[in-house]
């Protein structure tokens, strides 16, 4: 199992008593908005636990932080594929907007390099770099400048990536966001990740690395990319939320569930189970590393059960810096 490293202290779910007294009056209004969102989006019942134990109290804490901040508050939402980070980001942005804040959701996925750029990396460095996902296949400088631009009172084009054609949309098709933003929810599977020590790259973690990267050239490039411009990008994050799966096997199960739903809706679409199993191996090393390294420094740690229901929410620095 790769379950997240244990944090010190209690891992109890957030209780009403954790809230600042002047925030209690807003609690019921937030819960009402969440109930509307759950009904409108047809979200599963398990989302109610996440809403009550994470989204509602986090919304109150973030509002207090926004009121005290000189610029936009950037919230990093990190988690493996299928963990619900994207849905949580949309819900949090909806709550923030309903509270009169200018909220924007940015996805790391929208900052992938173009198909042509990744083809160049595949030819010059390693064929595995054609597959989008790991560090080195994004444009972190573009993401950094986009977040910085959203802090200004101006119109900002926000990049979009079309996974259907595996390429970034032309800039003429990017949505325009009017700034300045009050809060930015930045979601992605490796947002906030830190590189591994070089020696940790020696032993392959799966068949993909063993057979297709025997000289560790691909994983070394990924690790070195993560240590450079990605760290400047992730330094913009003010509050780090980590969604943690029980094991990497669970992550594969979640990804397969997503693909099965896609194939049920659109027969012939999507990938086979074998293709998905190979695809997620591109993410395995860093997913395991994040699960081991990030929990002690995350502001909020969300532990999920195999069925994606909520197990616990642990508050750390976010509680001391936002709630007090």
Give the rounded percent of residues in the chain with a pLDDT score beyond 70.
88
In a domain, 8, yes or no: no
In a domain, 251, yes or no: yes
In a domain, 223, yes or no: yes
Poorest-confidence range of 39-43, 257-261, 294-298, 320-324?
A: 320-324
* Token pair in block for residue 279: 């695809």
Report CA Rg, the chain: 20
The residue behind tokens 């202290």 is: 9
Poorest-confidence range of 116-120, 170-174, 252-256?
A: 252-256
Q: For residue 182, what are the contacts with CB-CB under 8 A and spacing of at least 6?
A: 66, 72, 73, 96, 101, 102, 103
β-strands 183-188, 176-178 pairing: unpaired
CATH number at residue 303: 3.40.50.300
Domain residues for 174? 16-323
Give alpha helix (H) positions in the chain.
Answer: 24-41, 46-50, 56-68, 85-98, 115-124, 140-149, 207-212, 217-226, 229-234, 248-265, 273-293, 317-318
* Token pair in block for residue 76: 């990093």
Is pLDDT above 80 for 61? yes
Closest by alpha carbon to 318, among 253, 245, 252, 240? 240
Is pLDDT above 70 for 6? no
Is pLDDT above 90 for 316? no
In a domain, 278, yes or no: yes
CA dist., res. 197 & res. 99, Å (int): 43
In a domain, 3, yes or no: no
Is pLDDT above 80 for 257? yes
**Into how many domains does the chain fold?**
1
For residue 8, CA distances in Å to 12, 54, 247 come to 12, 19, 20
Give the rounded percent of residues in the chain with a pLDDT score beyond 90.
66
In a domain, 7, yes or no: no
Q: Up-side HSE of residue 3: CA atoms within 13 Å toward CB?
A: 9
| Rounded average pLDDT over 298-318 | 89
> Can you give the pTM of this predicted structure?
0.88
In a domain, 95, yes or no: yes
In a domain, 6, yes or no: no
């Amino acid at each position: 199992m790769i379950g997240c490293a244990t944090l010190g202290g209690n891992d109890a779910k957030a209780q009403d008593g954790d809230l600042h007294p002047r925030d209690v009056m807003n609690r019921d209004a937030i819960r009402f908005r969440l109930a509307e969102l759950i009904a409108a989006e047809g979200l599963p019942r398990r989302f109610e636990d996440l809403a009550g134990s994470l989204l509602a109290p986090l919304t109150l804490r973030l509002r207090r932080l926004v009121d005290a901040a000189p610029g936009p508050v950037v919230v990093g939402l990190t988690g493996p594929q299928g963990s619900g980070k994207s849905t949580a980001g949309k819900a949090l942005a909806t709550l923030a907007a309903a509270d009169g804040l200018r909220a924007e959701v940015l996805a790391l996925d929208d900052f992938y390099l173009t198909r042509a750029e990744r083809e160049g990396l595949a030819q010059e460095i390693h064929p595995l770099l054609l597959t989008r996902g790991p560090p080195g296949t994004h444009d972190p400088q573009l993401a950094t400048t986009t977040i910085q631009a959203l802090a200004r009172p101006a119109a900002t084009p926000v990049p979009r990536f079309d996974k259907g054609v595996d390429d970034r949309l032309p800039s003429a098709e990017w949505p325009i966001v009017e700034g300045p933003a009050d809060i930015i929810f930045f979601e992605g599977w490796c947002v906030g990740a830190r590189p591994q020590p070089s020696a940790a790259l020696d032993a392959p973690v799966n068949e993909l690395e063993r057979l297709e990267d025997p000289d560790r050239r691909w994983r070394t490039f990924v690790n070195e990319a993560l240590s450079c411009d990605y760290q400047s990008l992730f330094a913009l994050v003010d509050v780090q939320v980590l969604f943690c799966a029980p094991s990497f096997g669970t992550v594969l199960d979640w990804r397969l569930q997503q693909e099965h739903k896609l194939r049920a809706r659109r027969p012939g679409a999507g990938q086979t189970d074998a293709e998905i199993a190979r695809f997620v191996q591109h993410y395995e090393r860093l997913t395991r590393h994040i699960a081991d390294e990030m929990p002690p420094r995350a502001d909020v740690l969300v532990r999920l059960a195999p069925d994606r229901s909520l197990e616990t929410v642990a508050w750390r620095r976010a509680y001391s810096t936002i709630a007090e």
